């Protein structure tokens, strides 16, 4: 089966949603990896017959009901004739199919290849290995280490310049380096590289901000990059639950967006400030801040308009105004571009359709429609790649809250446990404390249940 021929298995997805299982829980029930189950649902992979038996038992459904009748029959015929050619379950390395390459892997491999020679110079000829391989056996480095190395180069050169008091690179050359490396910084963030970014970003902030404050032919360019790096720094502060620092970075991002004369940067920065009030549960400040961002919508990109409308919808739902909430949610859906990654604001926002459905799920929770919320978060689960750790962790927290609203005790306990462990592994105080709030609500509802009591050990 080629990728062009792949058809999503809607029967399997519908069966999972009916059980109110996340992909994580469904994969555990069947005894396969999350990545494998995802590929089944997307029609990119077929289970072996013995795995299919486990799948049917887990769901208490037939192969026909799970959508595998035609392909299984075809595979049996081909197998009998010795012409088996359908893609089936294959061994995995670190969760990635060993014999299949996704488009994302191709991009990652290309990126590493492009900077291969530079990495050799900077690391005294230590080889760079492919994404998904630990590199420990061959003495090389991981993909995360390679990206971390590349983004350190500008700040390392600046530190060397300050130490020797010699100007090695001109301002425009450092700005060019920063323009190339900032997309790598965003990629590192979404792959969970918080520690590496916390080390290197202050250097970018210091240099870019100093250039952005000085009148020169590079000022607007430097201001544009400075606004972007402050937005990324805001995200890191938010994960630490350092809301004061997060607010500071949004204010600086707005300021440099003005110097750059870029309304998209300003709108994105204001919307990010509104999200801080979402985390702090300050309803009025959140609503007022989104209304402030709304003033930029006439000149903002479609993606930012859609995000701001969705944020307003969630703010109105929190305030009990379901009518306006649904009105703005509809506007957000209409405004969101089909391909968000082609929007000019995507590079420094990474807002996508999963972002929209996260808002939708929150809105449905606010208006006491947990079934619709679960479906919205199921869409997010289908769209977010498994290796985007911050997004997957956020989703798990939201699913745990939704399972609680649905009074699904086993599901909510399993999701909460996963959320806490993942939050600790990632170093996200924000998601850890959100999980703790959910646990307190679980104690109110099921405090005497053994499953719930056992979760206390996580905290």
Angle at 213 between CA 206 and CA 240, to 5 degrees: 35
Distances in Å between the alpha carbon of 202 and those of 37, 205, 207, 250, 387?
Answer: 40, 5, 9, 15, 25
Residues 283 and 366: beta-carbon distance below 8 Å: no
Domain ranges of the chain: 3-97, 112-261, 271-379, 384-459
Q: At what angle are helices 219-239 and 194-213 packed, to 10 degrees? A: 150
Report the candidate in 140, 135, 168 with the shortest Cα–Cα distance to residue 154: 168
| Element housing 27 (H / E) | helix 23-30
pLDDT of the chain, 459 residues: tens digit per residue: 444 456 788 889 888 888 878 887 888 889 888 878 888 888 888 888 778 888 888 998 888 889 887 555 545 555 555 544 444 443 333 333 333 333 333 333 333 333 333 333 333 333 333 444 344 444 567 778 888 888 887 676 666 555 555 566 678 888 888 898 999 999 999 988 999 999 999 989 988 998 999 899 999 999 999 999 999 999 999 999 999 999 999 999 999 999 999 999 999 999 999 999 999 999 999 999 999 999 999 999 999 999 999 999 999 999 999 999 999 999 999 999 999 999 999 999 999 999 999 999 999 999 999 999 999 999 999 999 888 999 999 999 999 999 999 999 999 999 999 999 999 999 999 999 999 999 999 999 998 998 888 998 888
CATH class of residue range 3-97: mainly alpha
Which residue has 């390459």 as its token pair? 101
Q: Going by CATH, does the domain composed of 271-379 fall within 1.25.40?
A: yes
422-445 in b/e form (b: 16+ CB < 10 A) is: bbeebebebbbebbeebbeebeee
For residue 144, give every residue at least 6 positions away whose Cβ sits within 8 Å of its Cβ, in sequence order, or none. Answer: 188, 191, 192, 193, 196
Report the candidate in 135, 235, 249 with the shortest Cα–Cα distance to residue 189: 235
Q: Are both 3-97 and 271-379 of the same fold?
A: no
Claim: this prediction has a pTM higher than 0.95: no
**Token digits of residue 118:** 């530079």
């Amino acid at each position: 089966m080629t990728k062009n021929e792949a058809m999503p298995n809607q029967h399997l997805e519908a069966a999972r949603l009916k059980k109110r299982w996340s992909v994580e829980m469904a994969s555990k029930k069947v005894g396969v990896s999350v990545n494998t189950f995802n590929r089944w649902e997307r029609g990119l992979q077929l289970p072996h017959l013995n795995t299919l038996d486990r799948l049917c038992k887990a769901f208490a459904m037939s192969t026909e009901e799970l959508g595998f009748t035609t392909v299984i029959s075809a595979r049996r015929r081909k197998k009998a004739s010795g012409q088996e050619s359908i893609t089936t379950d294959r061994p995995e390395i670190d969760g990635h199919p060993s014999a299949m390459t996704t488009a994302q892997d191709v991009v990652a491999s290309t990126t590493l290849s492009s900077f291969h020679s530079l990495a050799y110079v900077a690391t005294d000829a230590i080889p760079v290995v492919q994404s998904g391989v630990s590199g420990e056996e061959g003495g090389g480095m991981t993909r995360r280490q390679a990206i971390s190395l590349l983004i350190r180069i500008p700040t390392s050169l600046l530190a060397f310049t300050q130490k020797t008091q010699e100007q090695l690179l001109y301002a425009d050359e450092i700005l060019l380096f920063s323009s190339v490396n900032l997309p790598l910084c965003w990629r590192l963030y979404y792959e969970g590289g918080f520690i590496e970014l916390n080390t290197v970003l202050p250097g970018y902030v210091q240099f870019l901000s100093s250039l952005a404050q000085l009148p020169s032919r590079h000022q607007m360019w430097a201001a544009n990059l400075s606004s972007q790096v402050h937005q990324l720094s805001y995200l890191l502060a938010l994960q630490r639950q350092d809301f004061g620092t997060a607010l500071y970075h949004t204010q600086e991002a707005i300021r440099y967006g003005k110097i750059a004369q870029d309304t998209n940067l300003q709108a994105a920065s204001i919307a990010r400030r509104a999200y801080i009030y979402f985390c702090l549960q300050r309803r009025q400040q959140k609503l007022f801040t989104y209304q402030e961002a709304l003033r930029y919508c006439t000149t903002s990109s479609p993606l930012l308009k859609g995000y701001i409308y969705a944020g307003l919808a969630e703010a109105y739902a929190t305030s009990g105004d379901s009518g306006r909430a649904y009105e703005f949610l509809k506007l957000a859906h209409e405004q969101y571009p089909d391909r968000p990654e082609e929007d000019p604001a995507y590079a420094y926002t990474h807002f996508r359709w999963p972002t929209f459905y996260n808002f939708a799920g929150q809105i449905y929770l606010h208006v006491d429609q947990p079934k619709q919320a679960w479906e919205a978060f199921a869409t997010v689960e289908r769209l977010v790649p498994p290796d985007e750790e911050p997004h997957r962790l956020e989703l798990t927290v939201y699913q745990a809250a939704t399972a609680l609203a649905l009074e699904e005790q086993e599901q909510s306990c399993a999701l909460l446990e996963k959320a806490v462990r993942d939050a600790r592994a990632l170093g996200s105080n924000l998601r850890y404390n959100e999980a703790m709030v959910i646990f307190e609500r679980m104690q109110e509802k099921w405090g005497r249940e053994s499953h719930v009591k056992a979760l206390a050990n996580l905290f």
